Chains A and B, each alone.
Chain A
Amino acid sequence: MPRVSKRKSNPVKSSEPAAKKITKEVERIDSFFASYANTSLGMIDPEGVEKLCSDLSVEHTDVRVLMLAWKMNATKQGYFTQDEWRTGLKSLHADTLKKLKKQLPELQKEVAMKENFEDFYRFSFRYCLTEDKQKNLDIETACLLLNLVLGPDYNLQVDSFIDYLKFQKEYKVINLDQWTNFYRFCQEIEFPDLKNYDDCLAWPIILDNFVDWLREKSTSA
């Protein structure tokens, strides 16, 4: 495990030095937080987030920012509370800007892990629900988000599905169930031949319609 502190490593005689180590870490995290936080709000606001991004040399629309939010279990898009900040950075073991930057690739690997990705995928949907009690995502935002999170791994399916979403008129929003099942679709269904898609199963209707549309296109082409 990489050393967190620059101090010489002392044999752990009692919990005191360890506790001290931890407190030092928390202190650094907090001051890290403070350097971006909006003091009147008590949290990092969109402006602060932008500054953080530029310091990390990432675009604020970069998927890694989303991953960071996931790590923090952030609730409100564009804002990080102190608790969220602490949670995220502690588990990343990054208490300075430099360390955080270094951890980003690790974070990406972590998200890509099978057991985490689905959670991250669902998180990203909920994270984009900006209004109170909002349950659905408008088509445009959904398309952007799909590209961002699934584009790299499943770009064929995502491109196709985005085309369809823009073409169809029945649905104006996407709900979490449809969102979740699209990922399952990408994982389970052979693309583009769609041979093993069975619409007698409980796929959401939007995917049934998507498959019908694709099949029709391929026969008429």
Chain B
Amino acid sequence: MSLLINIDASLSCWLLYTAVSWAWGIRLTLIKMNERKTINLEQGRDFMQKGITKLKNILEGLPEPQFSSEEYMMLYTTIYNMCTQKPPHDYSQQLYDKYRESFQEYITSTVLPSLREKHDEFMLRELVKRWSNHKVMVRWLSRFFYYLDRYFITHRSLPPLNEVGLACFRDLVYTEVNGKVRDAVISLIDQEREGEQIDRALLKNVLDIFVEIGMGQMECYENDFELSMLKDTAAYYSRKASNWILEVSCPDYMLKKVQNELLSVYATQLLEKEHSGCYALLRDDKVVDLSRMYRLFSKIPQGLEPISSMFKQHVTAEGTTLVKQADDAASNKKAEKRDVAGLQEQALKEAFEIFCNKGVAGSSSAELLATFCDNILKKGGSEKLSDEAIEDTLEKVVKLLAYISDKDLFAEFYRKKLARRLLFDESANDEHERSILTKLKQQCGGQFTSKMEGMVTDLALAKENQSHFEEYLSNNSNVSPGIDLTVTVLTTGFWPSYKSFDLNLPAEMVKCVEVFREFYQTKTKHRKLTWIYSLGTCNINGKFEPKTVELIVTTYQASTLLLFNLSDRLSYQEIMSQLNLSDDDVIRLLHSLSCARYKILIKEPNTKTISPTDTFEFNSKFTDKMRRIKIPLPPVDEKKKVIEDVDKDRRYAIDASIVRIMKSRKVLGYQQLVMECVEQLGRMFRPDVKAIKKRIEDLITRDYLERDKDNPNVFRYLA
């Protein structure tokens, strides 16, 4: 066991070094392409076999030196050459078969015999060791044969190398031994129930195999292990239960005890396992496909459903309700005093539930993750959670982000929601806001968070600016706006772009704008102020007959209401023309004031929706028990715009990346160029190959690139 760990650790360090030299290796290979000789199948296979044998020796613990970077490169290059030679010497199919055969041969000759000769706990240990070895072997061979994964398998719609390798173990080893393994595990568990000490780590490792061998589906775990385990557990506890009932008098208390026993043991085992199982996947294999991970996690809620409902019943007495709807999950959570560990699990579980429920495609995950953050960070979100719990959740969120391909989309959604939180004072805790930005910065680099950090600092500066404004006003009593005015000046580059509409402001507000403009001129002449009325808020006094109520509304809503200072009744058309807004905006506004919770305006006819033929009247009889109420205006759905903006940014990013690569390489083949582009941009998003092709073509027409005269699949940089 310890020997293996050593190999793995040095493997990862070493591979880091190789990755760099590997890239060089490829370049050298490309340039040498014209000069190379054809490798025939026999030669190639023999050469690869040498490498495979060396790998096996290392795995078996025989004295064998590690792979040098040259050896590694040669193996990779051999495969590459054999796949890119012109027919009939393109041996992709044969190499693909050879790859599979390597595993089959090793398993049948070495692995299976070693398992067959051991039993019980010893067999379990051997299995864990062999599985670990196998994964290492898959990883290594996949890297040698990597070029097949690039094109051959997608071309022929074949399973990728990783899957083939793992499937070999599944088909040859797992199918043969899983019965014996299951029995051995169950007997271990029974031993523990009887009070003996068992090797829990071994148990966990074996159960992990059941999960991993499913390769994304939990079928193996569920069908092969879980079913038997549950049956055995039920049988065990029913035996136990009958014993306990004899020993103590009160039957109800007993049943509860059994239920608790079952609950706590089963739940902790599974939770723990799933929990660490998740982390194992997150930690170990960076090559795990995103969809595969999601499929795996989608099993968690289902797997935990029976437990949750038992849990719910058990805990209802303490007054906690768990809402499991995806949308409500994060916002309506009312956490009570509970064990922090359980909470973390819950938060994580609900996050994954959101993903699963909404379907699992790149862009929606990015948006949902941003929404989840927003719910945690805004007021009324998770205030009852401890700071530690929140920190932990944010930590997990940032880790998750590593697995989302559309990071730039997440950034944009996050930025939009951050803007709302900051501008409408909806942020729950400044510390948490800064904390997640620090985490994001650590994970994704400074560029990712620079705008967001700018936004947070902007607010601090804006406050300063406001105090200067107030000073100015007190020194110049002749230029009073007549109303208490607070202006937040933002730096355009940091904040999301907002469309500014030509709202017709009420006269009172026009004066305010004038006064501030004059003040701002005294501060600086080089900046242009663009007013975004859609983001403003107003506190206005509604002088209703019963009593005066202070209304907290948006500037748009205030402008609408102030129209009624001049006329008691107005039609939709009149309102629209006076405000100079679009139909969409007007409908939203009027709805919030006449059809929602607080009916400040009376609508005729009294239907639930706004139509252009409606008329509105000031509701002088309005009242509420509170003296100050907030009338919300639901925000417009920004999703489309965000996606549009991100798409545009991506086009520029791809352009820049292509030019950067070509500038340094001068001459490069199409497929290489695409590969490097994907790699370069991978930090932020996964570019579509078609999109890259399109940008290349565009750059050709703009005379940045040209095709090579002799090889139209090769491009040259034009200075």
Contact = CB atoms under 8 A, between A and B. Distances in A.
Interface of A: 135-136, 175-178, 181, 184, 200-202, 204-205, 208
B697 A205 contact: yes
B269 interface: no
B671 interface: yes
A204 B697 contact: yes
B707 A177 contact: yes
B712 A181 contact: yes
Contact of A177 (B670, B671, B694, B701): B701
A136 B697 CA distance: 13
Interface string B655-696: 000000000000000110000000000000000001001101
Which of A175, A176, A202 gathers most chain B CB within 10 Å? A202
A202 B707 contact: yes
Contacts of B715: 202
Contacts of A184: 712
B713 to A, nearest CB: 4
Given A201-B713, A202-B713, A177 B700 contact: yes
B47 interface: no
Closest 5 pairs (CB-CB, A-B): A202-B670, A202-B713, A177-B700, A175-B701, A201-B713
B671 A200 contact: yes
Contacts of A208: 690, 693
9 contacts: A175-B701, A176-B701, A177-B697, A177-B707, A200-B151, A200-B671, A204-B697, A205-B690, A208-B693
B506 to A, nearest CB: 47
Contacts, number: 33
B507 to A, nearest CB: 50
Contacts of A205: 690, 693-694, 697
B153 to A, nearest CB: 12
Contacts of B155: 200
Contacts of A136: 701
Interface of B: 151, 155, 670-671, 690, 693-694, 696-697, 700-701, 707, 712-713, 715
A38 to B, nearest CB: 35
Nearest to A177: B700
Nearest to B697: A204
A177 B694 CA distance: 12
B30 to A, nearest CB: 15
A184 B712 CA distance: 9
Nearest to A201: B713
Contacts of A135: 701
Given A177-B707, A208-B690, 12 more contacts: A136-B701, A175-B701, A176-B701, A177-B697, A177-B700, A184-B712, A201-B671, A202-B670, A202-B707, A202-B713, A205-B697, A208-B693
A181 to B, nearest CB: 7
A205 B695 CA distance: 10
Contacts of A202: 670, 693, 696, 707, 712-713, 715
A177 B693 CA distance: 13
A136 B652 CA distance: 22
Given A177-B707, A181-B712, A184-B712, A201 B697 contact: no
A136 B702 CA distance: 12
Contacts of B697: 175, 177-178, 204-205
Contacts of B690: 205, 208
Contacts of B671: 200-201
Which of A136, A176, A181, A205 gathers most chain B CB within 10 Å? A205
Contacts of B693: 202, 205, 208
A21 to B, nearest CB: 38
Nearest to A202: B670
A201 B208 CA distance: 42
A201 B712 CA distance: 9
Which of B155, B700, B712 gathers most chain A CB within 10 Å? B712
